[in-house]
Amino acid sequence: MPKITRITTQKRHQNRYNIFLDKGQGEVYGFSVDEEILIQHVLHKGMELDDSFIETLTKEDSFHKCYTLAIHYLSYRMRSKKEIVTYLAKKDVEEDKIDYVIHRLQKEGYLDDQAFADALVRTRIQTSSKGPLLVKKELKEKGVADCIAHQAIQQYTFDEQLQKATKWIDKKLRQDGRKSFKEQRQKVQHTLLQKGFTNDVIQEAMANLSEEKDEEAEWNAIVIQGEKALRKYRGKASGYELKYKVKGALYRKGFPFELIEQFMDAFLQEGE
């Protein structure tokens, strides 16, 4: 029966060990195992191993390698069950080994979709401008069950959504001085929808903003857009037609009629 003659640590992998055997014809390399397998089976010099036990050891070690692979993947951040399964499948890990890894990770508390979902929601609230609908979509894309995603997203309270949306509006509303106040409001509302905020949150956030326009900023914006329209239509139209086209362009940009008239009086000479 083969007997262990020597156990050495691998140079590149300090937690793996080479097992040398004597099968009756002198020492030869037998196989390698992870430290966990070594300790679990109390492998030591002089221990006799039959072929069946050696096969068991190498099989357990192959499963443990897949487990170690998953642990390394988890070391960067928490993962959902689907992310682990997808990662291992891409590494050409067999299905039975994936099942073993998932079961062990769940048993040891390293894999918990509810805990993962709760943590991701808290992180997105603290570090991103995403609304709850977009966060929930992200959870589902990571394979989290709808019921778990729904429960996790409850952490994202209405007040937190309103505070985040209002803060984002305050920051963005006057960022583009080339647009009318009305067009900027429409743009931020549309962007908040894309970010995953609900209509009720957006409407309340917009209602909390002052309706007072910055008159100087609004005038500067209409001058920019009005001069642009004049360059576009002058040479193609004149007189009433030119005025009609410029007014229409400015109206579509969200400027009020009275401000448009002021611009026309200031920048378009009579008869042009």
Decide: helix, strand or coil at residue 80.
Answer: coil
CA angle, residues 95, 53, 30, in degrees to nearest 5: 90
Report the alpha-carbon distance of residue 148 to residue 113 in Å, rounded.
Answer: 8
Same domain, 191 and 120: no
Is residue 179 in a domain? yes
Pair 128, 183 in one domain: no
Can you count the helices (H) and strands (E) in the chain?
13, 3
Least confident among 56-60, 215-219, 237-241: 215-219
Q: Which pLDDT tens digit goes with each residue over 88-104? A: 999 999 999 999 999 99
What tokens does 84 get? 């682990």
Percent of the chain with pLDDT over 70: 92
In this prediction, residue 270 has a pLDDT band, given cuts at 50, 70 and 90, of: very low
Instruction: Return the minimum-mean-pLDDT range out of 15-29, 65-79, 121-135, 171-185.
Output: 171-185
pTM over 0.95: no
Q: Is residue 197 part of a domain?
A: yes
Would you tell me how many other CB atoms lie within 10 Å of the CB of residue 244?
A: 12
Residues 148 and 196 in one domain: no
The domain in which residue 38 lies consists of 1-49
In this prediction, residues 173-186 reach a mean pLDDT of 69
Output the pLDDT for position 235: 74
Distance, CA of 96 to CA of 85 (rounded, Å): 11
**What CA–CA distance (Å, rounded) separates 265 from 218?**
16
Please compute the mean of the pLDDT values over residues 223-240 and round it to a whole number.
79
Of the chain, the end-to-end C-alpha distance in Å amounts to 108
Segment 223-238 mean pLDDT: 79
pLDDT value for 112: 97
240/176 same-domain check: yes
Question: 102 in a domain, yes or no?
Answer: no
Q: Which is more confident, 244 or 42? A: 42
Structural domain count of the chain? 3
The residue with greater pLDDT, 152 or 173, is: 152
User: Does 86 map to a domain?
Assistant: no
158's tokens: 């209405």
Taking residues 164-168, report their average pLDDT.
88
- What pLDDT does 229 receive? 82
Query: Residue written as tokens 């897949």?
Result: 66
Over range 156-166, report the average pLDDT: 92
Supply the CATH number for residue 140's domain.
1.10.10.10
CA–CA dist 76, 239 (Å, integer): 68
Last residue of a domain, one of 10, 27, 49: 49
Is 59 domain-assigned? no
Residue 219 has pLDDT above 80, yes or no: no
User: 111-145: buried (b, 16+ CB within 10 Å) or exposed (e) per residue?
Assistant: bbbeebbbebbeebbeeebbbbbebbebbeebbbb
- Rounded to an integer, what distance in angstroms lies between the CA atom of residue 181 and that of residue 177? 9
Average pLDDT over residues 82-86: 97
Can you give the length of the chain in residues? Answer: 272
Domain shared by 140 and 184, yes or no: no
Q: Which residue has the tokens 């949150």?
A: 201
Asked which of 32, 49, 66 is the last residue of a domain, the reply is 49
How wide is the angle at C-alpha 173 spanned by C-alphas 262 and 265, nearest 5°? 5
Q: DSSP H helical segments within the chain, as ranges? A: 35-40, 51-74, 81-90, 95-108, 113-127, 132-141, 146-153, 158-172, 181-194, 199-207, 215-233, 239-252, 257-267
Domain-embedded: residue 215: yes
Q: What is the residue-averaged pLDDT of the chain?
A: 88
Q: Mapping DSSP to helix (H, G, I), strand (E, B) and coil, where does residue 125 land?
A: helix
DSSP state of 178: T
- Stretch among 65-69, 143-147, 208-212, 221-225 having the lowest mean pLDDT: 208-212
Q: Say if residue 212's pLDDT is above 70.
A: no
Residue 149: strand, helix, or coil: helix
pLDDT of residue 271: 42
- Please identify, among 97, 127, 156, the residue that sits at the C-terminal boundary of a domain: 156
**What tokens does 26 get?**
């002198």
Report helix, strand or coil for 212: coil
